[in-house]
Every structure is written in C-alpha cells, then in structure tokens.
Structure 1
Amino acid sequence: MKFKTKMTTLAITFTMLAQSVWAQRPNEIQHIKFGDENWEEMAPKLQRKYVYGEKGMLALFKMDKGAKVPLHHHSNEQTSYITKGSVKVTMQGKDYTVKAGEVLIIPANIPHEFECLEDGTLDIDFFAPPRTDWINGTANYFAKSTTVESQLETIAAMDIRPGDVAVSASGRVFATIHPLGSQKMQLVEIVNGKAVAYPDESFQKNNQPATDAKFDAMLGLIFDKKGRLWVTDMGLELGKTRLWCLDIKTNKVIEKIELPGSIAPKGSFLQDVVIDEKNNWAYLADIANPGIIAINLKTKNARRFGGHTALLAEDKDMVIDGKVINFGGKPARVAIDPITLSSDRETLFFGAMNGTSWYKVPANLFRENKDDNTIGQAITVAGKKPFSDGATTDAMGNHYFTNLQEHAITKLATNGTLTNIAIDYTLLLWPDNAYLGPDNWMYISANQLNTTPAFTGSTDQGKAPYYIYRFKLK
C-alpha cells in the first residue's frame, strides 16, 4: 500500500525574499544605492543582498560564527572575496580557510558548502552569469528535506537493496535487487509494498551458485515502448553477461541474449541498458572496461565502442556528507554509468558516474556499424550533470539525474539549466536510479550503496529499510 512519507517541506525558495531586492533592469544602466537595500534573512546568522546585470551578479553576505550554507552547486562561476572575518569552504573533500583579504574562485558545477568562522564576517561574491535560481526563486538548497515538485511517496520499504526500478504503462512496479547487496533474490515485483520474486522463485539464485537457468547479478531494468521488460544480468559469478526480456502479461521469459566473451569478458560490469524497439537495438554501458555495447536484437550481433575520453571518469572526488567516497579501496573514479535514449530513438546520451558532463551521439552510427573513430568524432556535450548513478530522458528532451552528492534528483532542462527538483538529506540516501512512469510519476530507488563493502572496504554499514519512492512531476 502506498503512503505519503512524513517529511517537512522546508524549501526556502526566496520567492518572497527576492521581492525586497531592487527592481533590476539587466539591459540598462543601473545606479543603485546598495547600502539602502534591505538585508534578506536566508538562515540563522546569515543575511544577503544582491544586484545583477545581464552578464554578472554581485552579492554581499553578512554572517556570524556558525552560519552555514549547505552543500550545493550551480552552473555559475563564483568569486568570493572575504573583506572581514573568515569562512571555511569544503569542496571535493578538502577544506579551504579563506580569511579577510583573500579570494576563492569556485568553478561552475563544483559542489561546495560554506561555514562562517567569525562573528561579523563580510563576504562579497560575484557570479557569472547571474544566479537565475535566486532571481526566479527556485534555489532550494537551504532545505534539509524538500521536494520542489510534490511530496515523496513511499512505494516500498525493503530489507534488501533495490537496484533499478521500472514501471509499466499500467503502473506495475518492478525492481532489480542490487548484486552488491543481497544474493537471495535478483528480480522482484512490488506488490502492496512488498518485494515478490519475479517471474517466480525458480529464477532467483537464493544464495546458491549461479547457473545458466537462473538469474545471477541483475541491475539495469527498463520497459520498451512495446511493454516488454528488459534487464541486464552482469554475470558477476557466472562470468558472462546476459540480457533478458520478459513479457509481463504472461510472466514469461521471451528472450535471453548471451554476449560473447570477446565483447563482454568476465569482469565486465554492464550496468545500465536502453532499448530501441523501433530499430531493434539495445545499448549497454560497461563501467569496468569503459565502453558502450550495441546489440542488434534481430541478428544478436554485438559490438563494443571504447577508448574515448567521454566514457571515462573525471579526476574529481565524490563527496557525500563531507566524506570522500572510496570504491575498491581508493577514491571512487566510476566511468560511464547512466545511459538514455531520446524518445525518437535517434540520439544516445551517456555520462560517467564521476562526471559533470552529459554527452550525446547519433545512434544511427552504431546501427550502421561505423568505426570507433567516426563515432568518437560525433560525440558532443549535451549539457552538465551532477555525479549520478542513474538518469532518464523524457519525450521533450529534458534529462533527470540521481544526484549522489546532494541527495537529490536534478533536472537538465532543454535550455541547459540544472535544477534540483527533489532534495532529501535523510531519505534520498544514494538515489540509484530514476524512472519516469505513467502519468508523470518519477520513481526513485534509494539503497545506501556507498555503505556496501565494495565502497567501505569492510563490513556492510547500511541500515535497512531501503526504499523505492515516487513523486509527481509538474
């Protein structure tokens, strides 16, 4: 049974605060008595005022010891000049103490947080371009628990970690069970809030050795436009990658494609999958040996595209709640992970988990079996993204990412702006994937994946329950 999560919608969007700011005319000469402007109370011990033109914004912050600006990021370059007092800025797992007379320049899209170290601190910030989230009242990072679109609802509270979630056109909810967690069940349907083995118990590994007849390590999960359910089986124990297809009307397996070892050798980690039912192709992302696997679903022939820098992780730390996240015993550098297709199936989108760029490439280049060099030259940047484990693309070309560092769902709009549309620091603990279901419901799995032994290097530090949520997009 679905129930609304009790969460305080504390979003401070600054809509009312912005009304106190001088009426701005960005394209005109402006002569403003800045000292006469009213201070805006943003949070305890923290006040702000700002002015802006067409290309830049000037802000003045007045704060006392203990004032904090929570972890957030924006597409604007920020130059901070401390004229009095001092602050501590945390970025990429490193603390920067900035004292009076010192300047800190923060590049675009770098998550950062501020803490004031002295009473009476004055900070002059310059943003380029202007902060539209301040101007239009959509900034929400002062909320510890908020959804901009609507309230979260809990679909399932589970004692095992969900991997990906997918929802049928009729509203049936399915989930893989993350292989870095439980080895009991691999694929489930959520029925009345409970995880039920799908299509039945006979396909589940149930903590037994992997076999050809059973599921092994399921993760990527998606419905195509014909209503078929596709799921990747990474074969972490069996040593071979398989792509399964199920008919949820009959609850039967209708396809099982095994990839040859030359394309997906043992040790591959083919996580996300997208299906082009129009042209009969499938595309999978391999994070272990960074690449894209393209499968002709008619002939079952497959090819691998690799060796391109767009497939690789950026050399930036993943920081969650102030802690650098490790993977495999060292700071995480996870390569291509989320992968999506445009609604017309002609553009493939992808990006690294540890990456801030979202790339695109024409899908027909794979269908026409173009060489890697031709495909590589056609890759371009589609926009910016947060560090993310999952993504989905809607029919209008907007992209939605799970935002690991900010406990959020982030939207990349068609105009190139990034906006957090859901934030919850207590519930969205490692939002693994986002899935756009019927009637504009966005589904999210939250599984605390960074607490598994693969990340901690020791014991499992997760605390059940693990969740599947949803919220309604406007």
Structure 2
Amino acid sequence: MRIEKRFRHTLLALALASPVTFATQLQPLPASAASARPIGVIDQVFAFHDAMPTGVTVSETGRIFVNFPRWGDAVPFTVGEIRDGRVQPYPNAAINTEDPDDPAKGFISVQSVVADGMGRIWVLDTAAPEFATPRPGGAKLVAIDLASNRVVKTLVFPPEVILPTTYVNDMRFDFRVGKQGTVYVTDSSVSGPGGIIVMDIASGKASRRLSGAAQTSVDPDFVPVVEGRPALLTKGTDGKPKALGVASDGIALSADGKDLYFSPLSSRHLYAVSTALLRDPAVSEAQLQAAVRNLGEKGASDGLEADAEGAVYATDYEHNGIRKRLPDGTWQTIVHDPRVLWPDTLSIGPDGYLYFTANQLHRSPGFNGGQDLRSKPYSLLRVKIDAAPAPTH
C-alpha cells in the first residue's frame, strides 16, 4: 500500500513539475491510425450538382426516376428520369409546372416516386412546397405509363384525409386487393398528427388510419445525432433550438402483402400492422392501435423497403448506413460509410441492387440557422443485395 501511494505521488509530482515536457511529446494522429471500417461496397450511380433529390425508384426494366421537392432549392422540374447521362424532366417539362387554375393538373412539389411493377410509375405530389399547407385539391397521386410516357390516372386525395398540416411522404401499392389495387401513404406532418392514408385506386375513396396514434407520431424524447452533433434543429417559439418532429415517414409492404411496416422519421422504432385491419372500416382506431406491433429499435430511418424474401431494409441516417431485418427479426448492417450522408429513399432494382439517395438533408439551411452546409454533389448510390423487390401483384 505504501509503495503504491508513493508511486502515485511521484507521478503527480512529475506531471505538475513538467507540463511542457508532456505537451511537447504530443503528435498529430497519423492517417494510418486505426479507424472505423466501412461496410458494404457502394457504387455511385449518379451525382447531382443542382437541386437536392429525395426519392428514387427503379422500374422492372431498369429505368431510374428521381424527384426533387420544392423546399428552397431552384427546382426547374420536380420529377426526372436519369438517362443519357443527365436528369431530364419526366414525363415532360410542362407537367412539372404548377397550374394555378387547376392544382390537380401540374406537379406542385413531389416528395416520392414509386414504380409499381405493372409498367407504371406513380408520382406523389404533396402540393405543399416548403411544408406549407397543401394547396386545396392539389395533393394527388399520378400514374404514368412507362411504355407511352403518358399520364393514365390521377387520384386527388379527398379533402377529409388531407389536413391543413398533412405532408404526404411515401407510398406502397398492392394490386392483390381491390378492383384496381390499394395504395398506402404516410402522412409525415411536422406540425400535426401523423397517420396512414389508405386509398382504393378504382374509386379514389380514402381513409385516415392511425391518425395521431403514438406509433405514427413523433417520439417526444427523440433528438437525432448526425455527424456527431444534434441534427434537424429549428427555432422554437422561445427562440431556442428544438428538434424538428417528423411523423410517420418510411413505409414498406411485406412480400405477401399482409403487413405494412412504417416508422416516424423522429423515432428509432419499427412498427408493423395488418393490412387487412387497415382496410377494414369496421375496425376501430382503438382496435387498430392495439394491433400495431412494435418490432423494436432499428436506428433512425428516413426510407424503408422490403424484398421478395421477407427482409426489410431501413436507412440509418444517424450512422451513415443501411440496415437489413431478416425474417427472423435479426438485424444486419449492410452499409456503413462516412460518404452516406443522410440516406433517404430506398428502391430495389431488377438487377439485385438496392438503390438509395444520400442528400445531406441535415446540412440544409433550415436546420442550420439559414446557413447551407451541404457540399455538392448529392449522390444516388447502390449496394448489391442479390434480392428482388417485394411483389405487388
């Protein structure tokens, strides 16, 4: 005991007596020092040097479509197709312009595009530039035939499902139920209740389910940390920074169509609910909420996707990655890379690759006191998963 005590006193005396000696021995950490290992081999499919993209979808023939919501960037067209080495307005430039006389016609601000596996892509128009109140009659789904590149169907959301706070975000289709199929859409409101909109494609009738439920709502204790710092901070009513709350956002449909997976952006939990219960008007909201399954933490996600083998994929924007949930509930990290700055939307192509956008959302001016910290280009990336997309029919 005396020897140990004397030794500690000697070390303390040396440290106090010669601080300069210790300081002069410090060296910069060499580049060869051990560091985190990346996971997954990612390819850059396309680099965006102009507006920031959010959504991506890959058709069954390999055509790639992207969208650019009108959040503040100069957005000449809000839906585009990547072809001939550049992004071109899709299906044409004219439809990418808002029609002030008829908000159901032109694209106002598109948040998501999804290929349906039936020869079409669907465009989800929020009609809410910069998260404003949706233009009356403007929030809609537009189907475009890929063979003719022409609009073949427009579904305007009924006013009873579009609240003043609604921000429709992502969608999934199932053509096994309903005369022409069913579509599920998330409301990822930043100021009101989240929820899931269920629409019958043939009739256009729609209902809000799980509206304001705990599972579709912001986790009140959630503060995302991206690049080592609290992210998505805006000014509160008291002028102090607060975390932006984004409700139900990512969505995925199981391969058999029986379960819908979803997650608020401001949460780390994955939820699942029976699609039969979602579609059944006789099931009360209380019964539906009780039937939602909490599948545990998966990390904080923006986009979700499912494959034909029963796996679910989730972006992990806090850790620059993508995770995969196996059918037995086990999670794997399939992408972890410092270049994957805010992975957003996921889409599985016919080539066995998982495509995703990395758009640096957390560096946007709205979350950094008006200062734009994004560094162009933004990226469309892919990683090989050797899986097919979940079937829709």
TM-score, length-normalised on structure 2? Answer: 0.79
- For residue 342 of structure 1, what is the amino acid of its counterpart? S
* Distance of 1:212 and 1:327 partners within structure 2: 33
Question: Offset of 1:207 from its aligned partner?
Answer: 12
Does residue 188 of the first structure (1) align with residue 188 of the second (2)? no
Q: Which has the higher contact order (CA 8 A, sep 6+)?
A: 2
Q: What residue in structure 1 maps to residue 201 of structure 2? A: 297
The total of aligned residue pairs comes to 332
**Can you list the C-alpha shifts for 1:72-127, whole angstroms capped at 9, x where unaligned?**
xxxxxxxxxxxxxxxxxxxxxxxxxxxxxxxxxxxxxxxxxxxxxxxxxxxxxxxx
2:166 maps to 1:286: no
In the other structure, the counterpart of 1:396 is 309
Runs of 4+ that moved beyond 6 A? 206-210
Looking at structure 1, the residues matched to 230 and 85 of structure 2 have their Cα atoms a distance apart, in angstroms, of 34
1:412/1:304 Cα in 2 relative to 1: closer, same or farther (>3 Å)?
same
Contact 2:268/2:300, CA 8 A, preserved across alignment: yes
Alignment of 1:70-469 (within 5 A): 142-143=36-37, 146-148=38-40, 150-180=41-71, 181-205=73-97, 211-237=103-129, 238-239=135-136, 240-279=138-177, 280-288=181-189, 289-305=193-209, 306-314=211-219, 315-329=221-235, 330-369=242-281, 370-425=283-338, 427-469=339-381
Q: Given that residues 384 and 412 in structure 1 are in contact (C-alpha distance below 8 angstroms), is that contact kept between their aligned partners in structure 2?
A: no
Query: Secondary structure of 2:54's match?
Result: strand
Tell me the SS of whatever aligns to 1:361: strand
TM-score normalised to structure 1 length: 0.66
Structure 2 contact 301–315 (Cα < 8 Å) conserved: yes
| Distance in 1 between residues matched to 2:343 and 2:253, nearest whole Å | 20
Tell me which amino acid in the other structure corresponds to 1:157: F
1:190 Cα deviation (Å)? 0.4
More helix by share: 2
Partners of 1:358 and 1:160 lie apart in 2 by: 30
RMSD: 2.3
Give, in angstroms, the shift of residue 157 of structure 1: 3.3
1:384: how far off? 2.9
5+ residue gaps, structure 1, are 1-139
Q: State the AA in 1 paired with 2:197.
A: I
Kept after mapping to 2: 8 A contact 1:153/1:471: no
Q: In the alignment, residue 343 of structure 1 is paired with which amino acid?
A: A
**Distance (Å, rounded) in 2 between the aligned partners of 1:385 and 1:182:** 34
Gaps of 5+ in 2: 1-33, 130-134, 236-241, 387-393
Q: For 2:165 and 2:371, how far apart are their aligned partners in 1?
A: 22
Assess, with a 3 A threshold, how the Cα gap between structure 1 residues 141 and 182 changes in structure 2: closer, same or farther.
farther
In 2, distance between residues paired with 1:382 and 1:319?
22
State, as a whole percentage, how many aligned pairs show the same letter. Answer: 27
How big is the shift at 1:179? 2.6
In structure 1, C-alpha distance between the alignment counterparts of 2:297 and 2:325, rounded to whole Å: 7
* Counterpart in the other structure of 1:22: none
